[in-house]
Chain A
Amino acid sequence: MKIAVCGKGGSGKSTISGALARHLARQGHKVVALDCDPNPNLGISLGVARESVESMSPILNALLDSGHTHKDPKIEAEVLLDRYGVDAPEGIRLVATGKIERPSDACLCCGSHNTTRQFFGELGADDRIVLADLEAGLNDLIWAKPGADDVVLAVTEGSAKSVEIARRACRLAEELGVRRIIGIANRTVSDVDAKRVGEELGVEMFVVPEDRAVEDADHLGVAAMDADPTSPAMVAIGELAQRITR
């Protein structure tokens, strides 16, 4: 199974992705986590040490440094996963598909978006779960091109801008032919709030409550799953993992 997680910046994509991956792994699945944000930080939510996340060897840079250009033959995603992936807790393999850390006139066509597409499209998912935490906004959803059998999670918090981006993501996923689209009403403060978001998105919904424990973990730069796996949001995401794989 492949899962693509999308939404506005700050909506909670990485927090949801990280906790979801951990729960899926605990439930016995083999998980590959793709951090598709050119500003990779999924490692934090997975429970990788802060220093490792900050210094993670990103594929785009590694390829550029080795002189690889878009004219060279592509390296298979499995090989890249072996070479540049890092181990996260509970057997999860994490790979950053793109990262930009210096100004350059290099084109991004051989950069983060393309590696995102390559990984999401090529990695086999018959006996494992490939979970992609996409870059903020909608670009990556177009690039990753999830198919009919993939699952798209459109994450939003309560702000109108965030809901609007999630709504567009749902419509885009529908147009791509994705059959299972789940709206995640994140940091929800009330039932009214959740209902309103659900009506806007018009897809299967799942609610993750506002949770100060997640915020505190975020401030410290540690995984909410390590700080307090029994907090309301973490418990909810455990239920989400079961619902997705059922």
Chain B
Amino acid sequence: MGDGYDLTHRDEWAIQCMERQLVVMDDLAARAGDARAWLALERQANSYLRHLGTWLAKDRIFPGARSEMADHKAALEAYVGRAQQEVAGVDPEVLEATRAGLGLRLAVIGKGGAGKTVTSSTLARILARKGRKVFAADLDVNPGLAISLGLPASAGGMPPGTIEEHPGSIYGWQLTGDMTPIQVVEKFAATAPDGVRFLGFGKIGPASEGAGADKSAAKQSVAALVHLLLGIGEPDWDVIADLEAGPTTPFERYHAFSEDVIVVVGPAWRSAMTARRLLPMAEGRRLTFVSNRFRDEPDHPGMPARVRIPFDPELAEVERQGLAPLDACPDSPAIIAITRLAEMFVNQEVPV
């Protein structure tokens, strides 16, 4: 009972989200058999705590769920404590190395046309080729990531059975309660080339094409997808999300799940201005700047490029044809540069 308030639908939704987070935590704990698994559990609890912090910071959002939030915070902190106990006997250096080797949590942001989607899709497939389990999510209502992964443009919308209506959720829908996020991915995500698993929104299109000329139709699964990303605690899965261009989706914290943020910038001055506006929203995550369509320009001030993807006419042609770059021009300089980026993440060459 929320502090004497009548619970709003929004409060009820928040409480359900928190209950489902504890289901995820219980599931991870039940399967935790080694230090790596406990470190993953600790990371997951911290990720939920960070997200909860943003809810708690705003008094007015869930006025009726304050006591539940306090309880939830305590429960998550108890999980962190338990995980730390479980690994207390392990050499700190080993622990640090194990922690750094947990599956990646990457969000890719930047101005429209900067090259987010080519970077995300190629990175996802290269990681999969290295034998890793990879889940890629498209957080853009416009078509894109599916094509660049090598799937049909319409692939990967949240399938029926994975989402259900809830009046308190943003756009009215949430993840169903009978599966954990990782179970949804394993059972329902589309399988792209190299075994990358993929989910996205429905796409905005004219009513005659079924989606309806209505952004809420395309976006109805947003809360489900964001919470799905946030709830993948498995140590062995890499998670990559391609965000919509510009500041709207980072503003709405679609990248809440991420530990690393890849900022893709093009040579244009306004591409760097966009990135400067996006940075405050990365909120303490590790940043990796990728300079795309590089010819010979100096890095934008304050944005040292860790990888420079060269200007590549072959890639532009592949984009014209709507093909997956990794299939159509595997040996192009751009693909070689993105391969190098994948290796940096796999080898834990931590960003400066």
Contact = CB atoms under 8 A, between A and B. Distances in A.
A174 B208 CA distance: 11
B245 A100 contact: no
B339 interface: no
Given A54-B276, A160-B319, 4 more contacts: A104-B58, A142-B204, A160-B321, A193-B320
Given A101-B280, A136-B245, A139-B141, A10 B270 contact: no
B213 A101 contact: no
Nearest to A197: B320
Contacts of A100: 247-248, 251, 277
A52 interface: no
Interface string B261-293: 000001111100110110011010000000000
Given A137-B141, A164-B153, A219-B297, A39 B277 contact: yes
Nearest to A161: B144
A243 interface: no
A10 B248 contact: no
B260 interface: no
B204 A138 contact: yes
A165 B143 contact: yes
Contact of B246 (A37, A164, A219): A37
Nearest to A157: B113
B114 A138 contact: no
A100 B209 CA distance: 32
A97 interface: no
B322 interface: yes
Contacts of B268: 215, 218-219, 221
A3 B352 CA distance: 45
Interface string A130-151: 0000011111001000000000
Q: Say which size band chain B's interface belongs to.
A: 35 or more
B269 A38 contact: no
A98 to B, nearest CB: 9
A201 B59 CA distance: 48
Nearest to B117: A161
B316 A103 contact: no
Interface of B: 54-55, 57-58, 61, 111-114, 117, 140-144, 147-148, 153, 204-209, 213-215, 244-248, 250-253, 266-270, 273-274, 276-277, 280-281, 283, 297, 316, 319-323
Contacts of B247: 38-39, 99-101
A102 B320 contact: no
A179 to B, nearest CB: 17
Given A8-B113, A138-B142, A161-B319, A39 B244 contact: no
A176 B251 CA distance: 29
A8 B252 contact: no
A161 B147 contact: yes
A193 B320 CA distance: 9
Contacts of B297: 219
Contacts of A104: 58, 251
Contacts of A220: 269
Interface string A98-117: 01111111001000100000
The interface residues of chain B, by DSSP majority, are classed as loop
Contacts of A44: 269-270
Contacts of A102: 251, 280-281
A135 B273 CA distance: 16
A168 interface: yes
Contacts of B244: 136-137
Contacts of A158: 316, 319-320
Contacts of B251: 38, 100, 102-104, 108
Given A38-B246, A41-B274, A53-B273, A136 B215 contact: no
Nearest to A39: B246
Contacts of B276: 54
Contacts of A135: 246, 248
A65 interface: no
A139 B215 contact: yes
B206 A10 contact: no
Contacts of A17: none
Instruction: Choose among B209, B269, B316, B321 the residue with the greatest number of A CB atoms under 10 Å from its CB.
Output: B269
A126 interface: no
B215 A50 contact: no
Interface in A85-103: 99-103
A123 B310 CA distance: 44
A171 interface: yes
A103 B280 contact: yes
A37 B111 CA distance: 11
A168 B206 contact: yes
Contacts of A175: 206-208, 213
Given A8-B113, A161-B319, A171 B208 contact: yes
A135 B253 CA distance: 19
Nearest to B112: A9
B283 A103 contact: yes
Contacts of A38: 246-248, 251
20 contacts: A9-B114, A10-B112, A14-B270, A39-B274, A44-B270, A54-B273, A102-B280, A103-B250, A104-B251, A105-B57, A108-B251, A136-B245, A159-B316, A160-B323, A161-B117, A161-B147, A164-B153, A171-B206, A215-B267, A218-B269
